[in-house]
Amino acid sequence: MFRPCVRAHVGSAAFVLLMLCLPGTVLAQQAKVSFRVAPFGTTKSASPLFKIDIVEPQSRKGMTLPSLTLVDTSTGPRLTNLALTMPRLLIGETSVESKFGDQPLPRSFVSSPLAGASVKRPIRGLSFSTSGSTPWSFSVGQLDNGTNQPATSSTAPGIMALAMGLTPTKRVNVAPRLLVPLGTPAAQANLGTAIQAQLTPHMSFVSDVGAADIAHGSWDPLAAAGVIAHWSGAEVETNMVRGAPIPTSQNANTAMVGSVDREVVRGQLRSIPGVTVSALASLSRPASDEHAVDTKTGSVGIAYDRLPYGQLAATNQNEDYPTLDINTTRVEWRHAPVGGFAVRFTGKRQSYDNVPQSTQLARQLEVDFPGWRGQDPGTRLEVHTAITADPTLSPSPTLSSRFTGRVAMFGNVGLAGETEVGVKLDDGGGLVRALRLTSEVPVFRATALQLLYSYRPGMPFVLNQAIEARISRTIKLAGW
């Protein structure tokens, strides 16, 4: 177990030494490098073994390295967040930016309502982009295969993506895009165009149309359309999406395009001073089954913010699945918008259609106390308490409290942490569910030692605890 960690550290150190040897004019940046000592008596985890966070300079003339992380996973060491930003190129009057390494796809792919789960993950490859009145971007690389898989897994599809932005008039924006898989027969090629038009000063129309190559020659149409309207006392938004079926060799996590048909209508009304009424209704179903039973969701909420003390809000939501009905009621009173005293009650009732007398009712009362800060700026305390009665988790009510904060010790040294304590109300039995303490101690100039202690109970008479250490140092990449 120790040898892979050694190889990971050696490889990472060699990479950093290579970056440090580059001329100062290329990498005139400051970086914070941290090494992690694996917890004693534990196996591999997804915690960073080695990490370097680099601050990008205000004026970038050469190549820059935003970040670098080495993670130890169940499949071995994995290098992530590695991206090199190349110098700008000037072609005529057009400035072209390029980046090599881990990076997200262009925003038009990620924000599209027709996008599948895969395109929302980063790719490892090369990209070129421009800005201005007609921006465009070109990306080629391999999609990330998930946090538990190697980044260069053979199952991760390679893709080529092209996106543009057009503005025919001041009120109309058009963004065509094209995504083509490379060397992966199971992946879906797709194209689309997002259109946003300002119809009136209070109303805009948003649509996205396209097609996906589902069976290599059989193109399925894709469509999304919505209307957004805003007035002084009301808001209305509608959205309709028609996706495409997922190929049999894929699942929902690797689909390039959306595979759910849905209609959504939501709105807000503020005609009475201090009162906001909101409502939502939606239908959704798999795109591959035209006769599938709709999943229905509806909610109604009301909020009043002109009480003598605080704000009051209540919502009721009903979710109707093919075999399960869930009704949730929430009531919240908050003294201040952020960081103040808050009390919220949640009641959830669920029942199965095909199981008589299967209704289960869960209740939870939560209290957030105002954060307390001591005389020292580094001392603070926050408390969250919840009383839960959930038959699916425990036959008896439980009281759970979570404490988070930091206590200043001496100088720049402080002790920060969080703990969660649970108590069964029927027999008074107590249990420390989690405990985590962190302290960072300056060692010498630009160097700090961070100690972490974590505890979480496992099986009876087994203490699942760990002690970790991280050493961090701020350096200049031009030299130590």
3-state SS, 19-67, equals HHCCCCCCCCCEEEEEEEECCCCCCCCCCEEEEEEEECCCCCCCCECCE
Q: Which amino acid is at 79?
A: L
- What's the rounded Cα separation, in Å, for the pair 342 and 333? 6
Tally Cβ neighbours within 10 Å of residue 81.
18
State the pLDDT confidence band at 13, using cuts at 50, 70 and 90.
Answer: very low
Nearest Cα neighbor of 224 from 269, 187, 190 is 190
- What's the rounded Cα separation, in Å, for the pair 208 and 206? 7
Residue in the block written with tokens 């974590």? 454
State the pLDDT confidence band at 392, using cuts at 50, 70 and 90.
Answer: low
Name the helix (H) or strand (E) containing 413.
strand 413-424
pLDDT of res. 352: 87
SS3 state of residue 14: helix
CB contact at 8 A, 69 and 46: no
Any residues with CB less than 8 A from the CB of 260 and at least 6 apart, and which? Answer: 241, 243, 284, 285, 286, 287
Compute the chain's Rg from CA coordinates.
Answer: 27
- The H-assigned helical ranges of 349-451 are none
CB contact at 8 A, 161 and 138: yes
Summarised one tens digit per residue, pLDDT across range 265-318 is 999 999 899 999 999 999 999 887 777 888 999 999 999 999 888 899 999 999
Tally Cβ neighbours within 10 Å of residue 372.
11
Greater confidence (59 vs 2) lies with 59
For 404, half-sphere exposure in the C-beta direction (CA atoms, 13 angstrom radius) is: 8
Segments of 76-171 assigned E as strands: 76-80, 83-85, 89-91, 94-103, 123-130, 136-143, 158-164, 166-169
HEC profile for 418-435? EEEEEEECCCCCEEEEEE
DSSP for residue 353: T
pLDDT of res. 430: 61
- What's the rounded Cα separation, in Å, for the pair 283 and 301? 19
Quick one: average pLDDT of 81-90? 81
Tally Cβ neighbours within 10 Å of residue 461.
6
- What's the rounded Cα separation, in Å, for the pair 333 and 336? 9
Summarised one tens digit per residue, pLDDT across range 169-181 is 989 999 999 999 8
Alpha-carbon distances, residue 57 vs 32, 226, 295, 473 (angstroms): 14, 41, 50, 18
CB contact at 8 A, 164 and 135: yes
Q: Above 80 in pLDDT, residue 15?
A: no
- What's the rounded Cα separation, in Å, for the pair 140 and 118? 15
Average pLDDT, the chain: 78
Q: Above 60 in pLDDT, residue 262?
A: yes
Quick one: average pLDDT of 396-410? 82
- What's the rounded Cα separation, in Å, for the pair 35 and 48? 8
- What's the rounded Cα separation, in Å, for the pair 24 and 263? 55
pLDDT of res. 20: 40
- Number of H helices and E strands in the chain, helices first, is 2, 30
pLDDT of res. 414: 81
To 5 degrees, how large is the angle CA 272–CA 276–CA 277? Answer: 105
- What's the rounded Cα separation, in Å, for the pair 129 and 178? 15
Tally Cβ neighbours within 10 Å of residue 151.
21
Alpha-carbon distances, residue 10 vs 17, 52, 362 (angstroms): 10, 15, 52
pLDDT of res. 56: 54
CB contact at 8 A, 317 and 299: yes
Alpha-carbon distances, residue 448 vs 67, 161, 329, 378, 471 (angstroms): 19, 43, 48, 17, 6
Q: Above 60 in pLDDT, residue 23?
A: no
Q: Above 50 in pLDDT, residue 229?
A: yes
Greater confidence (279 vs 213) lies with 279
